[in-house]
Structure 1
Amino acid sequence: MTPTSTYRLQINPGFDLTAAASTVDYLSRLGAGAVYTSPLLTAAPGSTHGYDVVDPTRASPELGGEPARVELMSRARAAGMGVVVDIVPNHMSVAVPAANPWWWDVLRQGRSSPYASYFDIDWSRGRIVLPVLGSDSLSDLKVDGDRLTYFEHEFPIAPGTSGGTPQEVHDRQHYRLAWWRTGNAELNYRRFFDITTLAGVRVEDPEVFEATHREVLRWVRSGDVTGLRIDHPDGLSDPGGYLRRLRAEAPETWLVTEKILAPDEPLPASWPAEGTTGYDALREICGLFVAPEGAAPLAELAQDLGLQPIGSPAPSLHLVEETCRRLVTQTSLVAEMRRIAALADVPPDAVAEIMIAFPVYRSYLPEGLDDWTAAVATARQKVPDLAHHVDTVDRAVRADPHGELATRVQQTSGMVVAKGVEDTAFYRWTPFIALNEVGGAPDRCGVTPTEFHTRASAREAAYPATMTALSTHDTKRAEDVRARLAVLSEIPDRWAEHVTRWSATHGIDEPSLNLLAWQTVVGAWPISADRLRGYLDKAAKEGKVRTSWVDHDEEFEAAVNAWPDRVITELGDEIESFVDGIRNAGWANALGQKIVQLAGPGVPDVYQGTELWDLSLVDPDNRRPVDFVLREELLTRLETGWLPDVDDTGAVKLHVVRQVLRLRRDRPDLFTGYRPLRAQGPGADHVVAFCRRPELVVVATRLPMSLDGWADTVLPLPSGPGNWRDLLTDTTVDTGIEPRRATLAGLLSRYPVALLQRGD
């Protein structure tokens, strides 16, 4: 069942299933078509996000267990809402072995365990490597009954292997404890990206699929769950095959998949899914509010402030991405390079070069053959000395596109791209971080209305039930931060003057982090020193320029940690003054992108709390508690007919969200089709408008900072009988006689957006 919209809730021990159930009435009044939850299966002890499942056979007791799950879903059904649940087929948590019954049994019994085939383990390389030791010594290992212990870590002792010293007992086990630093090179099980505590699951095996999906599919078949969000499909051996199996088991269920698409990459046609989780739409919608003219001066500013990759005469995103991809193949993903190289009997460097050259996250051979061919050609040209080995891999992959070598290559390419680009390059390439988003394209500054309309029309034609999003639990920064930062593209010279002066006295001694920090301060202002400190610490370590998660530069980290207090104390008034000058334009952008997303093609998702202004940063900042009491109070006022001002309460955003979501729920027939509308007059470039059915028109202001009034700019409206009414202001729109035209000066006099419906 396709929902009219979704509202994402992050369920955790501090906001459990019972708390989620208490929000159902509010979400129904808001107009949400479905409650959309983070994973609900039993996760690692204390998990704050649920993506680290340890037991897929039951709802998490820490979240309230089965009774609370039933209560949430029953309330949603009674309110006429669907329930969409996030599921994680690619991996399970092994951080606390005893918490994962399947993994514990594999460690205890090795290959004889009935669960040995559940995990993607390379048994040909001997015992399972567990990189948990603080050094290469086992001196702190102890025997405690039927367990080996290493500080807080516990591991099972196989039957009949007790006796002797802890080292002797250890040497008899089906696993080998190793120094944590060797894990990236020696690991012999597939993992999620470079996280050794998340072990890959062989969901392509029908037995494993059945065991891992039995409980969730029970919820589906009972009618409790109406939609599924599939996490990280690119980690699977055969994403298309997995989705076809899931579709066969849940034929009426709405399926969306967290597939990250390059700007011009289509979703594989053979996937039986309604679409993606919306990062493609996010790039297009947010880009609509960015001025392309800002690209050159922002790049010049970055270069003036020292953002210059080694070996390049000028800043280059391409070079930064290539450098970062190579870095992860040589450090955090060495084990994966070696495993593939062994299958092809080539040097790991040859495999790495193919991974580095991928134009997209991965191919799905035989689909995506062009992407594979492009990667091979680039690798061959880039490193001629390895061309022979690259050709060897190419021939073997083409000869058996469903074989183990081809499968491993495809699973791993996505890891290299994601870790190299999203989690490294996007923290190093920082001229304009509004574009540095999951699925983003920082080298494409802005999306023209023409491009936007073309892509929106294509979405309506090909994937009308795909999810669209502006904020998610994985976005680098919330939608309203991006909306405010978009204003900088309109005033790059003014921005350059301020950030240059601030950097001269308070700069961070690392150019990429310095630029990122100033944009973060302005985009998220007002922000506490603690929140900013936590963000910059993560950003510095993800960027891996002066420090990292593995190799720390304590002196540099101390300087970065001291920066927020110093800047807020000494420059707070200046920052506040600058933000005051762009705040209104940022609000206009935020409302514009929100109404375009909510009313446009696809099924719009509202991430928890973003119905008011949200200036959150990357996780865990975006998982902070949401004040639903405040939102309910404001919603109650809106229900009495209150028309809020555009101010710092954010109530106007709640008003826009409520009006569109309720209309989508009550009149879904209006949200079909798509046709661009083009304004005429001096302000035409500052408006984007479209109609769904001819009876419904959406209007949004764009590039508001450089808008010098609407003058006599008009918007021609679809012809037909009946008066036009703006549902946001509850006023009749003066359109004159045929041909109907609305003057934008009047239409947008109260709000920078409008939602027009025609009727009697």
Structure 2
Amino acid sequence: MDTRASTYRLQLGPGRTFADAASLVDYLHRLGADALYVSPILAAAPGSEHGYDVVDPARVSPVLGGEEGRSALVARLRTLGLGIVVDIVPNHMSVAVPAANPWWWDVLREGPNSPYARCFDIDWTRGLIPLPVLPDDGDGGDAAAAALAGLTVVDDCLSCGDQRYPLAPGTYAPGDDPAEVHQRQHYRLVPWRSGAADLPYRRFFDISGLAAVRVEDPDVFTAAHAEVLRWAERDEVDGLRVDHVDGLSDPGGYLRRLRDSYAGWIVVEKILAPGETPPASWPVAGTTGYDALREVCGLFIDPEGERPLTDLAETLGVPTDTGAVEAECRRAAATALLRPEVRRIAALVDDHDDGAAGEPETEAVADGEDTTRLSRTEQAVAELLSHFPGYRSYLPEGEADWTAAVARAHRTRPDLSSLLDRIDGRVRADPRGELARRVQQTSGTVVAKGTEDTAFYRTTRFIALNEVGGDPDRFGVSLAEFHDAAARREASWPRAMTTLSTHDTKRSEDVRARLAALTEIPAEFAAAVRDWTERCGIGEPSLNLLAWQTLVGAWPISAARLRDYLLKAAREAKLRTSWLEPDTDFEKEVRSWPERVLSDASLADDVAALVARIREAGWSNALGQKLVQLTAPGVPDLYQGTELWDLSLVDPDNRRPVDFATRMVILERLESGWLPPIDAAGAVKLHVVRQALLLRRDRPMRGYRPLAPTGAAAAHAVAFARGPAFDVVTIATRLPLRLADSGGWRGTAVPLPSGPGVWSDLLTGRGIAPERTDGFTTARLAEVLNPYPVALLVRRTADTVEPRRP
């Protein structure tokens, strides 16, 4: 399996095509990247900005430049020795525009007799396929009825507004009433809101326009991967990133089939709970690295800040019992957003268990302004789905997680014990059966929608913790925990990807780095937030606290960017408004807040002053976490543009165009020997990135040895050694504000691995003269960490062959 030393992630789309990517290859090579890692490149839905809504797996995206553009990009990469890693989406396809998806079009035209009917996860026992596309504005159906009254037949297609739908053979003759023609089809156009609550096909999360694909079927797998595997046969793809592996019916089976067809590097997009690892049976290099993100970023968070920030949240009315909020949000996701999936699972239970009919009838469950009746079986399924420790279990090897979920569901709903026992018994009796598979693949969706996309926007005590793969209850990561995790990764998953920023992260690594500095001055920040809230607060407490943290973390930020972010956050939280039930009055308040704050000169000056107080500490944290990630075990990924300071927020903000021209100019100066200052330009981060990536590309980075600093400020440094002879040492500063307040390094030193040769710092070019202390060779941090808060030491001998730099 080909494993690259590092990857550089590019988000392709209408604004960045294959040709644009090819123009960056020389820059990426000189930066030190070893492979280009691109977002999905198969044909996507019309207007797609990201490529995850594939419509035709047999065709390269024409918007990106088609097969010709892809081939040219690969050829350009090969000329400089770079690899290419491609993101693939096996779980679902876009069906939002039926005419764009030839598989879905044929299913709508032919129904269950279509050769593509087996490709989608459709419950054909339910009959017709409802398509939730009609207006649904709470008018009692008038808008939907009007839309149906306006149906026409154009070019042998049923036309509704700007959408077209296929006609089954023999269902239309010239002069037929379009409404009657509609009734003869294998589908029904229904209101988008009410119709989405009763779909017979499995979706991606709760998105009706993304239909699940049955890649567990060998023939479907072959059809869905034919183009990707064609690239592999021609040695035109070095790695695959598998999107949303937890949504698959049988992740392990899928990955084994993929491995049988592809010998290259495979990583899976999977969020791991703290301490969790991918199933050992999976033939993959590891995950895409959200676990590393939590561990690395956590190093720079001061645990002493937890109590004051908790007190701040509580006094503002923000919930701090994250477990309770998570449980509530997961249950809401299961009973409302994912009701069709829960109903389908419950039907499997009821169809096979006569005893279910004897259960009490139904219970009312709030769903926005409507009230939906859930059967007792549905309640039991929803409760079980809400209590998995991680995203899902993988039976039979993941039995412990399954057992934990069942036990938790029993504790919270003892009145459902008989049904829970029934589900548990059937799943254990057939852990590879349909009931077991559907419960497991749906649990991950419940966690994602309930925890990541809802609870993380409600429990906003300290938002740097509320990250993909994060745990808001774990306030920072100790040195011991970090070293243990890094050593385990080196021993068990050395080729797993690591990351700090992705297209999925809630906020960029540099925003989190600056926010981490707030944990060193929590009382000062708390006082400021209380004052600012009195002067210009938002009426919903969780959003209010999130807004002030976001303003500080992303400062300077335009009113427009902040407005769009806060509006999305408010809708995701689903407290005062939501995507399905927007509250126009509250959203008006949210929309106006950024301009009100930024136009208040006194308030804006106060925010700017606090940012100035922590800006340099944020830079120190950003450089520290970046160097640690780039040199620690695993294959580091660099997200587009983050080689300079990047203060992006959640998508689509993090998909904004990147100014590569400026980066190229800075790179040229660095190649001439320039040592940049630590300032707002961010050239120093590009310098650290370049030196670390070039080193990784030039030498093997095997092994891992924690180095324990000694001295009064030992807790303020993290250090470790890499390489076969432990001849590479990474050192980074932690908690810089407290370090400065305590008097600096005060003789603190790091022991260096013994061996022949001379040490030098790649970041300054300066030789290091170690001292002998208590029989060990040590480097004094006051000297090594100057002028930068990080150091990348390399030991060279007379036999060392210096790499040729680009």
Match of 1:718 in 2: 753
Match of 1:759 in 2: 796
Per-residue CA deviation, residues 28-72 of structure 1 (Å, 9 max, x unaligned), is: 000101000000000001110000000111110010101110111
Match of 1:616 in 2: 648
Contact 1:41/1:58 (CA < 8 Å) preserved in 2? Answer: yes
Per-residue CA deviation, residues 210-234 of structure 1 (Å, 9 max, x unaligned), is: 1110111111111110100000001
One-letter amino acid of the structure 2 residue matched with residue 480 of structure 1: D
Q: Does 1:736 align with 2:771?
A: yes
CA distance in 1, matches of 2:296, 2:195: 41
Match of 2:20 in 1: 19
Match of 1:371 in 2: 401
Match of 1:149 in 2: 159
Matches within 5 A, 1:673-684: 673-684=703-714
Match of 1:589 in 2: 621
Matches within 5 A, 1:204-219: 204-219=216-231
Match of 2:325 in 1: 320
Q: Does 1:686 align with 2:698?
A: no
CA distance in 2, matches of 1:551, 1:495: 34
CA distance in 2, matches of 1:756, 1:71: 38
CA distance in 1, matches of 2:220, 2:278: 26
Matches within 5 A, 1:382-421: 382-421=412-451
CA distance in 2, matches of 1:361, 1:145: 46
Matches within 5 A, 1:404-553: 404-553=434-583
SS in 2 for 1:342: helix
Q: Does 1:336 align with 2:341?
A: yes
One-letter amino acid of the structure 1 residue matched with residue 677 of structure 2: D
Contact 1:184/1:331 (CA < 8 Å) preserved in 2? Answer: no
Contact 1:77/1:224 (CA < 8 Å) preserved in 2? Answer: no
One-letter amino acid of the structure 2 residue matched with residue 250 of structure 1: Y
Contact 1:682/1:712 (CA < 8 Å) preserved in 2? Answer: yes
Matches within 5 A, 1:80-91: 80-91=81-92
Equivalent of residue 298 in structure 2, options 287, 294, 298: 287
Per-residue CA deviation, residues 432-480 of structure 1 (Å, 9 max, x unaligned), is: 0000011101100000000000000000000000000000000000000
Cα 1:739–1:381 change in 2 (3 A) is: closer
Matches within 5 A, 1:595-606: 595-606=627-638
One-letter amino acid of the structure 1 residue matched with residue 338 of structure 2: L
Q: Does 1:158 align with 2:168?
A: yes
Matches within 5 A, 1:101-180: 101-135=102-136, 136=141, 137=145, 138-163=148-173, 164-180=176-192
CA distance in 1, matches of 2:65, 2:563: 33
**Please, what TM-score do these two structures have when normalized by structure 1?**
0.98
Residue 330 (structure 1) shift: 2.0
SS in 1 for 2:436: helix
Per-residue CA deviation, residues 682-708 of structure 1 (Å, 9 max, x unaligned), is: 110000000013211000001111113
One-letter amino acid of the structure 2 residue matched with residue 151 of structure 1: G
- RMSD between aligned alpha carbons? 0.9
CA distance in 2, matches of 1:536, 1:736: 53
Residue 538 (structure 1) shift: 0.3
Matches within 5 A, 1:633-672: 633-668=665-700, 671-672=701-702
The ranges of structure 1 where at least 4 consecutive aligned residues each deviate by more than 3 angstroms after the TM superposition are: none
SS in 1 for 2:133: strand
CA distance in 1, matches of 2:135, 2:606: 46
Per-residue CA deviation, residues 314-345 of structure 1 (Å, 9 max, x unaligned), is: x3000110111111122111111110001001
Residue 145 (structure 1) shift: 3.5
CA distance in 1, matches of 2:438, 2:522: 45
**Please, what TM-score do these two structures have when normalized by structure 2?**
0.92
Residue 165 (structure 1) shift: 2.2
Residue 2 (structure 1) shift: 0.2
One-letter amino acid of the structure 1 residue matched with residue 533 of structure 2: S
Contact 1:128/1:174 (CA < 8 Å) preserved in 2? Answer: yes
CA distance in 2, matches of 1:19, 1:749: 39
SS in 1 for 2:36: strand
CA distance in 2, matches of 1:409, 1:153: 34
One-letter amino acid of the structure 2 residue matched with residue 418 of structure 1: A
CA distance in 2, matches of 1:142, 1:618: 41
Residue 139 (structure 1) shift: 2.4
Residue 293 (structure 1) shift: 1.4
CA distance in 1, matches of 2:749, 2:430: 59
CA distance in 1, matches of 2:285, 2:485: 17
One-letter amino acid of the structure 1 residue matched with residue 168 of structure 2: A
SS in 1 for 2:119: coil
SS in 2 for 1:293: helix
Q: Does 1:243 align with 2:226?
A: no
Residue 185 (structure 1) shift: 2.0
Per-residue CA deviation, residues 493-552 of structure 1 (Å, 9 max, x unaligned), is: 000010000001100000000000000000000000000011001000000000000001
Residue 149 (structure 1) shift: 1.7
Match of 2:273 in 1: 262
CA distance in 2, matches of 1:527, 1:337: 41
SS in 2 for 1:616: coil
Match of 1:94 in 2: 95
What 5-or-longer segments of structure 2 have no aligned partner?
351-355, 357-376, 798-806
CA distance in 1, matches of 2:196, 2:108: 20
Matches within 5 A, 1:27-38: 27-38=28-39
CA distance in 1, matches of 2:715, 2:36: 37
CA distance in 1, matches of 2:130, 2:269: 30
Identity %: 63
Match of 1:749 in 2: 786
Contact 1:105/1:115 (CA < 8 Å) preserved in 2? Answer: yes
Contact 1:184/1:333 (CA < 8 Å) preserved in 2? Answer: no
- Higher deviation after alignment, 145-154 or 609-618: 145-154
Per-residue CA deviation, residues 544-579 of structure 1 (Å, 9 max, x unaligned), is: 000000001000000100000111111221111110
Cα 1:303–1:504 change in 2 (3 A) is: same
CA distance in 2, matches of 1:529, 1:71: 41
CA distance in 2, matches of 1:565, 1:11: 32
CA distance in 1, matches of 2:41, 2:737: 44
Equivalent of residue 587 in structure 2, options 557, 564, 580: 557
SS in 2 for 1:63: coil
Contact 1:598/1:604 (CA < 8 Å) preserved in 2? Answer: yes
Residue 608 (structure 1) shift: 0.2
What 5-or-longer segments of structure 1 have no aligned partner?
309-314
CA distance in 1, matches of 2:397, 2:447: 19
One-letter amino acid of the structure 2 residue matched with residue 581 of structure 1: R
Contact 1:460/1:601 (CA < 8 Å) preserved in 2? Answer: yes
Match of 1:304 in 2: 315
Q: Does 1:200 align with 2:212?
A: yes
Residue 385 (structure 1) shift: 1.1
CA distance in 1, matches of 2:663, 2:105: 44
Match of 1:311 in 2: none
